[in-house]
Amino acid sequence: MLEQIDHRGKRFTIDDEDVVDDIARERCRQAELLERQAQREIRELERAKAVAGPDSENSDIGMLDQRHGT
């Protein structure tokens, strides 16, 4: 890290590019994991709907529908 002083005399640091890249990589990894989890949950919901059948009044499946916006 590089420490600097701005025009008001306040100290601030500039992160090393490698640190910033590591943070960005970790955020991308987390986003990918969340996307995979969402896809798994959508598949589970579709399977539950298929098992319950079209005439099912199962409130749990309806609640999952609302949660996933389907």
How far is 28 from 60, CA to CA, in rounded Å?
32
Q: Note the pLDDT tens digit of each residue in 4-62.
A: 788 888 887 777 666 667 888 899 999 999 999 999 999 999 999 888 877 655 555 56
Is residue 2 helix, strand or coil?
Answer: strand
Is residue 49 helix, strand or coil?
Answer: helix
How distant, in Å, are the alpha carbons of 22, 41, 45, 56, 70 from that of 50? 42, 14, 9, 10, 14
Q: List phi, psi (to 5°) of 2.
A: -115, 125
- pTM (2 d.p.): 0.50
Kindly list the domain boundaries of the chain, sorted by start residue: 2-68
Is residue 3 helix, strand or coil?
Answer: strand
